[in-house]
Structure 1
Amino acid sequence: MASNWTVCGVCDFRNIQKTSVVWCSECDEGLCDECKEHHSAVKSSRNHRVIPVTEYKKLPLNVLEITQTCQKHKEQYQIFCKKHDCPCCRRCVIETHNECKDLTAIDDIIHDIKSSNAFLELERQLSELLENFKRVKSDRIKNLKNIKEERDMIAHDIEQTRNKINEYLDKIQDNLFKELDFTEENEGKKIKQLLSSIEENEREITDLQVYLTNIKQHASNLQAFLAMKHIEKQVADKEKSIEFIVRSEDMKTKTLSYVVNENVQNLTEIQNLGSIIVDSKSCEVVLTGNKKQQAQMTVPYTESKNIDDIKVKKVMKISLQSKVIRGCAILPNGKMMFCFEDVKKIVAFNSNGTNDFEINLDIQPFDLAYIEADNTVAVTSGAFVERIIHIIDLNSKSIKKSIKSTLFPYYGIALRQNAIVLL
């Protein structure tokens, strides 16, 4: 352990108890006011760098405990063995490291260590590591928020579905809400647990940054070098930790969705209103600083699929009161619109399959396209006699504009880059 920095080393050697006011890193001991004057006047120590004890004690405890002399032989460290990654005194080299080939004078290694590339690289690694944990934290907070918003949207859909049926479904609805709340709570708990671990790592990295700053300002070159070796190991552990977190199951983005039971309309067959589904997709966080990890994460692997791999699943069944149904469109809000040619109307359905509204027309509608810019739909007639396109305002449920053609009738219609394409 390093000399006791709280007492004057010179006075202590003379069995005199005096409190130190400065610390000499070269002598590895504290000095009182009187000894400090002698220390600065003696030729052998007048060029030594001293700092106030109040500043020196700001160094982390494990740095203060670093000794600059060999505890076994009580001699100053002179050599650093790269093979064993440890400092050695003269006698250590003779007794233990005489066959080691990679020995370097410790003065050569610690010279300008605080401005060395290795020290600067360690500072950069700490900053990038902290930034990576912040990215992961931000991603988890975003996912937690999205789950809450999706939960609210699903709850609204459940309520809309529930309002269409009678009190016979009260108990089933309560069970589904419990499942939804349990799923949200369970998935949220996993994310919060991961966030807690991430925040703990953030605090530890921040402490290491403060620790490294204090070392840079106040520690001796040897202390800085040895402390740096210790921090490098901690940084390596943290890098492995965040790589493990990003690859873990908990980093997959969870989403909630609600699927309406296709038998809801048949009350005698209803067992539940639907189910709460948790979907996972690959984490979108890209770490910085680790070139190997970046190379692995830059381009996610996507397995190619062909038509034989496509699985079809019936989501719902909608009964349409028309014998001739032509065009259809799905709006961004989930509503579905159909052209009922035989009865001259377009009909809109909610995302759960229930009827929303109808608009009667003076033409036989053939196809339609949704224009999001002004919340309208363009409807073609597809007839040689009518040859007309109606632009219908979905807010007012009325015809906003009509476009006639004297050349030929229009059948199919689509919207591409804000331009209407007619077939």
Structure 2
Amino acid sequence: MASQLNVQCGPCGYEDIKKKAKTWCANCEEGFCGECDKSHKSMKVSRGHNVISIEDYRQIKDISVNMNCDIHDKKLDLYCKKHDIAICVVCILSQHKTCSSSDVISIDEASKNSKQSSALSDLEETISKILDDVKYCINDRETALKNVDKEEQTIRKTIAETRLSLTKYLDELERKLLLDLKSQHKNCKSKYIKILDQMKQIEKELENLREQTLKMKRFASDLQVFLGTRQLNKIITENIKSLKEEITDHTNNRMEIQIHHVISSLMNEVKHFGEIKVIETKASLQLTDAKIDQAQIQIHGSMQNVCNVSLQLKQKFDIKGSEKSKTACFITPDDTVIFADYFGSGKLSEYNNNGKHIRDIPVSAKPFDITAVDADCIAVTHPDALYLEIINTKKSSERKEIQCSFNGRGISFQDQKLYVVVYKEGIEVMDLNGKKLNTIVTDISLAVFHITTTRERIYYTDNRSTVHCCSMTGQEIWIFKYQSISTLKCISVDNNQNVFVTSRRSNNLIVIQHDGKDSKVLLTDRDELDKPVAVYYCKEKKIICLGYKAGSVALYNVL
């Protein structure tokens, strides 16, 4: 381990004297004991060297930065601005003859203030974004793995139900089919497990590179940072290139079963029980090239036209003691539903998906909006108080108050940041400790109501019955206004970035296409909608939760 490393004094070692070093010179690349360090500092030639403590050196010892030319094995002491490359003296004669004297400068001059350079910042951002990408891909493959298990269970049920109407004659056919299913299922899972293992290995390597970058930023010299930035970026590029080659042609496999159409009446003619089919579709996996000047990462599935979106009623149930429309709702990973009842009881309540009341979650003020922070925690806004709450839904006693200088309304969580609506001001961006990171200014005359976010976009509604879509830095992408529908309220977004929004006055649930160019009314008052507000789209289960009228909730499958 680095913390156990014993570094010997270089000058003393030259005299065959063993003494532990107390400092390390990055220029001389050797350690110095106390006496030798004084001598080293006293000499004019080494007085300006970068000297750090041995403890700091231990932090960067394992960070590999090549200080010599790969071609000539000479010290890299020059830098060519024209070709953006560190070079040695021999390189000038062999490969940089046409470069002017102004193009070639000393490496010390080129590496000044490298710790504050945009290259280092870009490297950190690149690693973080690629790491997010890999985690996204891992989650996508884990979801696909779970889906293939569910499909396997569905097929088993279909097989069992069909088997009830058949005679012992079908036993052998059933056995063969189940063996086929097992083989196909194993093949499907093995593909997903293989790519998951590769992605998790890349994740570990990227975590290590990020840790190295942070240590290099804190403890390494400017020269080491300058060279290390480029060398680490090269490593990242090679790793990602390798993984991209593996996942380029990766497919999703969906298993189905086709039962023979005459199996119930023509047993003597049927030679097989059914057929297991594996349907391959292109997996939406994509990794960004790891280049410092190309750090924007986008992963998109195929976008769905809203004309094809439809809803299938799954469940309706009433909320006890509720006389007002819910301001927010959220479907948990455990299939329960949490409601915020700001205008009614002022409670945060949890129900199962059959409408059975589970509990009331204690809150210190009336809750307006909720957003998931992780699998177990939610963030809650209280417009009547100058703070937010982060609550553990598994252990509601575990909670944290985040003090704010404003009254928060709508809230969304994305990439470890909270996006909070501030009445008539805009959207405050803060970390989970309440530190203000940015303010996204909206039209000061408008009251922003509700907000939702994706990895790349922010969506919100205002008091002009308009839906806005902007980038994470606030640049407007599109604006949608439905002329015949007014008082747009709660907002949610699906996997294709299509936007679901409720209209309280017009009694509608609308879906707006991802590009803001088309829309569709999904539900109206003929579906019993009466002043609906709360709406939430569960991306994992493709379910809409809708507070369709005061005291009543509906769950819909999105088709």
Counterpart in 2 of 1:87? 87
Counterpart in 1 of 2:166? 165
CA–CA distance in structure 1, aligned partners of residues 71 and 38 of structure 2 = 29
Counterpart in 2 of 1:342? none
Give the secondary structure class of the aligned counterpart of 2:280. Answer: strand
Residue 119 of structure 1: CA displacement? 1.1
Counterpart in 2 of 1:262? 261
Extract unaligned runs of 5+ from structure 1: 303-330, 334-372, 375-414
Residue 145 of structure 1: CA displacement? 0.6
Give the secondary structure class of the aligned counterpart of 1:268. Answer: coil
Counterpart in 2 of 1:67? 67
CA–CA distance in structure 2, aligned partners of residues 332 and 269 of structure 1 = 41
- Counterpart of 1:263, as a letter, is V
Structure (1/2) with the larger helix percentage: 1
User: How is 1:230-241 mapped onto 2 (pairs within 5 angstroms)?
Assistant: 230-241=231-242
Please tell me the root mean square deviation across aligned C-alpha atoms, in Å. 3.8
What TM-score do the two structures reach when normalised by structure 1? 0.62
Q: 1:245 to 1:178 in 2, by over 3 A?
A: same
Counterpart in 1 of 2:275? 275
User: How is 1:182-193 mapped onto 2 (pairs within 5 angstroms)?
Assistant: 182-193=183-194
Q: 1:299 to 1:206 in 2, by over 3 A?
A: closer
CA–CA distance in structure 2, aligned partners of residues 168 and 186 of structure 1 = 29
Residue 71 of structure 1: CA displacement? 11
Counterpart in 1 of 2:399? none
Residue 203 of structure 1: CA displacement? 1.2
Residue 301 of structure 1: CA displacement? 8.9
Give the secondary structure class of the aligned counterpart of 2:60. Answer: coil
- Counterpart of 1:57, as a letter, is R
Q: Is the 8 A contact 2:50 2:221 kept in 1?
A: no
CA–CA distance in structure 2, aligned partners of residues 42 and 201 of structure 1 = 47
Give the secondary structure class of the aligned counterpart of 2:21. Answer: coil
Q: 1:67 to 1:255 in 2, by over 3 A?
A: same
Deviations 1:103-134 (A, max 9, x none): 23322321111221111111111111111111
Aligned length: 307
User: How is 1:6-405 mapped onto 2 (pairs within 5 angstroms)?
Assistant: 6-42=7-43, 45-46=46-47, 48-61=49-62, 63=64, 66-67=66-67, 77-80=77-80, 83=83, 85-89=85-89, 93=92, 97-101=96-100, 102-248=103-249, 250=250, 252-265=251-264, 266-285=266-285, 298=300, 300=302
Q: 1:197 to 1:9 in 2, by over 3 A?
A: same
Q: 1:95 to 1:14 in 2, by over 3 A?
A: farther
- Counterpart of 1:255, as a letter, is R
Residue 24 of structure 1: CA displacement? 1.5
Counterpart in 1 of 2:526? 419
CA–CA distance in structure 2, aligned partners of residues 68 and 280 of structure 1 = 50
- Counterpart of 2:131, as a letter, is L
Q: 1:280 to 1:292 in 2, by over 3 A?
A: farther
Query: Could you tell me the percent identity over the aligned residues?
Result: 26
Give the secondary structure class of the aligned counterpart of 2:271. Answer: coil
CA–CA distance in structure 2, aligned partners of residues 17 and 173 of structure 1 = 78
**Which one has the largest radius of gyration?**
1
Give the secondary structure class of the aligned counterpart of 2:255. Answer: strand
CA–CA distance in structure 2, aligned partners of residues 76 and 240 of structure 1 = 28
Give the secondary structure class of the aligned counterpart of 1:264. Answer: coil
- Counterpart of 1:247, as a letter, is T
- Counterpart of 2:261, as a letter, is E
What TM-score do the two structures reach when normalised by structure 2? 0.48
Extract unaligned runs of 5+ from structure 2: 1-5, 305-311, 315-353, 356-521, 528-559
Q: 1:78 to 1:8 in 2, by over 3 A?
A: farther
